[in-house]
Amino acid sequence: MLRKELQQKSARRVNSENAYLKKRDNWTAFLGEPRIQLQMQSALFRYLDPPHRRYFLLALLVAAATILAYQPAWHGGFIWDDDSYITNNELLTAPDGLRRIWFSLDSPSQYFPLVYTMFRFEHSWWGLNPTGYHVVNILLHIANALLLWGLLARLRVPGAWLAGAIFALHPVQVESVAWITERKNVLMGLFLSMNKRSIAGFFTVWHWCSMRWRSSVKRLPALSQPRCS
């Protein structure tokens, strides 16, 4: 009985990996068409004007360094709680799984509906191939580092880019990025960074509007005085 279950589990994993490779080959062929490549290049070079070129290259440097630093995670498998979160989680495959994720207490751990929703969609895309889950974690971590850089730059903090690079490459982030179950950590960082960025933008606009209003108020007495003929 145990051998039969192991064989079935191995067969399901092989089928999932084959489906993932087929989808990847289709996307590679699509992106390899000359028309698609030309459109991507023209859209990219519109943002490479001198004011944006430096920021684009610095962001590309952070992304490339982060991808290389987490290269061992590409080949990592499922460990520890990943089995309860993904491989043995019936909510990712059940027909009513999405409803149960959001409106029940059937989750194998705490109530993390957004995390399980992402895992459900990813499970339908690349099945039990752990590479896809690791790639999503790495991309979310890169987005967090770039958002932190942008936030500090908006606040005019010296060394904003260096702070973002250190955040991306610091070893303390390894657990949250390389462990699939810790998707909740990188998601939390993403929404927190976007929230802080929005707040900083709001106060920037508020400061600009207040300065304009003060300058207009100071000009009112002069405008109200009659002009001499």
51-79 pLDDT, tens digit each: 667 888 889 999 999 999 998 888 888 88
* 151 and 171 together in one domain: yes
**Position of tokens 């944006």?**
52
Has residue 18 been placed in a domain? no
Whether 93 and 150 map to the same domain: the answer is no
Statement to judge: residues 135 and 193 lie in one domain: yes
One domain, residues 95 and 205: no
Q: What is the pTM of this model?
A: 0.68
Task: Determine, yes or no, domain membership for 164.
Answer: yes
Does 224 reside within a domain? no
Residue 161 has a pLDDT of 92
Q: Is residue 208 domain-shared with residue 102, that is, in the same domain?
A: no
Could you tell me the two tokens for 31?
A: 């992106």
Closest CA to 119 of 134, 105, 141: 134
Residues 92 and 158 in one domain: no
Please indicate, yes or no, whether residues 208 and 168 belong to a single structural domain of this protein. yes
| Selected residue with higher pLDDT from 119 and 38 | 119
Question: What is residue 179's three-state secondary structure?
Answer: coil
Q: Is residue 9 part of a domain?
A: no
In b/e form, how buried is each residue of 38-71, taking b as 16+ CB within 10 angstroms? eeeeeeeeeeeeeeeeeeeeebeebbeebbebbe
Look at the chain and report how many structural domains it folds into: 2
Verify that 121 and 143 share a domain, yes or no.
Answer: no
Mean pLDDT of the chain: 77
Tokens of 88: 């043995």
Q: What is the pLDDT of residues 148-170, one digit of tens each?
A: 998 888 888 899 999 999 999 99
Based on the number of CB atoms within 10 Å of its own CB, is 160 exposed (0-12), middle (13-18) or buried (19 or more)? middle
Query: Residue 204 belongs to what domain range?
Result: 52-78+130-218
The answer to whether the beta carbons of residues 145 and 165 sit under 8 Å apart is: yes
Range in 19-33, 96-110, 129-143, 152-166 with the lowest mean pLDDT: 19-33
Q: Judge if 213 and 143 occupy the same domain.
A: yes
CA–CA separation, 27 and 216 (whole Å): 56
One domain for residues 68 and 171: yes
Determine, yes or no, domain membership for 72.
yes
**Domain limit, last residue, from 127, 160, 185:** 127
Three-point CA angle 155, 156, 159, nearest 5°: 115
